[in-house]
Structure formats: C-alpha cells, structure tokens
Amino acid sequence: MIFLNNGVPLEGLDILKFPKFTQKVCTNKTSVQVETLPSTTAAFRFHSLRTYLQTQIWRGNNTLDAVDLG
C-alpha cells in the first residue's frame, strides 16, 4: 500500500498521510477531498480483514465469524 502511494518502504501509512495532505493543499485550488488521501494503518488492516472474509465466503468457508475479522 505504501508503494502505491509513492512512499518510502519503511514509512508507515500514518506517516505518509501528512505529506500527501500538505502536497494536495499546496497544489489544489479547491478543497482537498479526504477520500483521495492514503488510508491509515488501522483502516488498511480492517479492509484487508474484510477482504479475506469475503474471499473465504466465496470459496464456501462459512465457519468464520465476521466479528473476529473486523
């Protein structure tokens, strides 16, 4: 995910968000759309868990509990 947002490999997503925000503020003539910023580490983790759960459901593994996977 860091690579997709042109970040340094050892940076976390939370560190990458602020420079992206300041870059967009300086270059945009309108307000910054929050959805265009990189997600936080926690948001990315829960997205990955939901994706894993959905994939398991499609494969027929219905024994997983959605509460355990975010």
Residue 32 and residue 25 in contact, taking contact as beta carbons nearer than 8 Å:
yes
Q: What is the mean pLDDT of residues 34-59?
A: 84
Confidence (pTM): 0.54
Structure tokens that stand for 11 in this block: 């940076």
DSSP state of 4: G
Q: Which of 37, 57, 23 is nearest to 49 (CA)?
A: 57
Residue 44 and residue 13 in contact, taking contact as beta carbons nearer than 8 Å:
yes
Q: What is the pLDDT of residues 2-46, one digit of tens each?
A: 556 666 666 667 777 777 777 777 887 777 777 777 777 788 888
Residue 15 and residue 30 in contact, taking contact as beta carbons nearer than 8 Å:
no
